[in-house]
Amino acid sequence: SGIFASNGGMETEKTLAMIKPDGLRGNYTDRIRRAIVESGFRILKDRVVELDEDRASQFYAEHSSKSFFPSLVKYMTSGPVCVMVLEKQNAIADWRAMIGPTDATKAKATHPNSIRAMCGLDSEKNCVHGSDSLQSAHREISFFFEETGEIVGKHDEL
């Protein structure tokens, strides 16, 4: 069965987590992975990949009309990223809560224990990504992992 197969009623959920280029460069990977596991997530899959301009633009397509888009794409192509499929109950919301607000400057002020407060720099270089909804999680997990051969289930199997 594929990574979207049901879990026999355990009601777990999967989300896509990413350590962005600044996170890898800053050697935060081990610390972040430890925090993930200690918070009860299972890391089902992980891989280190480099996004080219096309792939980074596709990944952040929803932001293509924003003024910061060119800068975002440049940032996301500045080095390798580590993508992970995390699983636990309420994984999507819980991982978003763990990473904290988008702007790492604000995270440091209001969510000092968040990952972005620990590792991020500003509103762009914020170290980590997390899917923001069930649809995003499905799209983003497929984006990075379906090409490795897993059978991707229907949306209602998520």
* Contact pattern from residue 96 through residue 135 relative to Mg ion, giving x for each residue in contact according to CB under 5 A and a dash for the rest: ------------------------------------x---
What is the Cα–Cα distance from 52 to 117, expressed in whole angstroms? 27
89: partner contacted, choices ligand GDP, Mg ion, none (Cβ within 5-8 A by kind): none
Identify the residue among 39, 64, 71, 90 touching ligand GDP (CB under 6 A). 71
Rounded to the nearest whole angstrom, what is the least distance from the CB of residue 83 to ligand GDP in the complex? 14
Residues 121-150 that bind ligand GDP (CB under 6 A): 123-124, 126, 129, 132
- In terms of CB distance, is 42 or 63 closer to Mg ion? 63
Q: Are 3 and 42 in contact (CB under 8 A)?
A: no
Q: What's the token pair of residue 71? A: 């800068």
DSSP states along 26-84? TT-HHHHHHHHHHTT-EEEEEEEE---HHHHHHHTGGGTTSTTHHHHHHHHTSS-EEEE
104 binds, among Mg ion, ligand GDP, none (CB under 5 to 8 A by kind): none
